[in-house]
Amino acid sequence: MTWHNSLQWLQALVAFDTTSRNSNLALIHHVQGALDGLGVQAELFHSPDGAKANLFATLPAQDGGMQGGVVLSGHTDVVPVDGQPWSSDPFTLTQRGDRLYGRGSCDMKGFIAVALALVPELLALPRRQPLHLALSYDEEVGCMGAPVMIDALVRRGARFDGCVVGEPTSMQVVVAHKGINVYRCRVHGRAAHSSLTPRGSNAIEHAARLICHIRDLAEACAANGPYDECFDVPFTTLTTNEIRGGIAVNTIPDLCEFSYEFRNLPGMSPQRIQAQIDRYVREQLLPRMRREHEGARIDIEPVAAAPALEAAEDAAITQLVRALAADPATRKVAYGTEGGLFQQAGIPTVVCGPGSIEQAHKPDEYVELAQLQACEHFLRRLAQSLQGDGI
């Protein structure tokens, strides 16, 4: 019965187009209504504009206790399908063989579907500790939604013993990932006709100097470390991935905008990395620009940030999830999750969920039936472990 419900839930969740540019409220209200029908009250934490919401719900312990226990975390937004060659409607769950195709089936509505399908069974399970569901918005655009929920819970004194983030890991245990830091830079020069070059200040050319400096920092990290060989890319990376500037081939541009990101190893301060960029701007680039134009300036603003995760091996949640997944391997990944946000709030966290990250964000995204079944078995055993005095 539960397995059939997992597929029904996944079908329902995929049908909601929760691409990050859209609202997720229809999906959230659907889940809230279903939980309410089971007697579980779900609290919503809305985005500042009210267009999106996180959902947090607690399946209390048998004595009604709401503190402690384990959080099951998942994001409800998905990446766009624009321009991708899908073989079927990306927002209609489609089974072909042992695979279920649809946007978000792998990343990460499969995990959410299994967790929701198990709620009736878990409510009937005599647990001495509660189990919590945390569904977020805007993870795919920089983990923008989860902090709204986590901060509110922390302020009210909520306490949790651990968190499992159900990102696709093929049901293997991930104990660490890099931090993600995204910045937007606007270089302001002065426009002029290209035949009168000395009267202008070329924003594109000065932006190029800063971009090359960022590349130099990236090469220094690759050459000198620090390193962690458990990662597929064992050092901190920096890249510039978007740029816009100029209006005509014969006009000195007065504006150039670009975005850059860096992915720092756990334990490496992202503030120190950004400080090196700021220092180059302040001490070298701006003085050079202002010799051409006194009003030149460079504006750098943070766009998104997700802290790195590094789970403690002796943490109870790490040991429990390793035991349930029968996975002793040390596995660290370059992609980010909301796990670092929970850890930053003092909640021990690991990552483990159905599906392969290799399928995430691609056309014809899919999750294997066997992965959902393994997730159901894992979550059921996790809930049963809460029958004791502590995880």
Tokens of 95: 């089974």
Which among 47, 48, 45, 46 is positioned nearest to 156, based on CA atoms?
A: 45
Tokens of 196: 């009168």
- Residues designated as active site: 77, 139
Q: Do 343 and 349 form a contact (C-beta atoms < 8 A)?
A: yes
Region for residue 78 given its phi and psi (left: phi exceeds 0; alpha: psi -120 to 50; beta: otherwise): beta
Q: How far apart are CA 167 and CA 298, in angstroms?
A: 37
3-state secondary structure 56-103: EEEECCCCCCCCCCEEEEEECCECCCCCCCCCCCCCCCEEECCEEECC
Which among 168, 32, 51 is positioned nearest to 104, based on CA atoms?
A: 168
Q: Do 176 and 310 form a contact (C-beta atoms < 8 A)?
A: yes
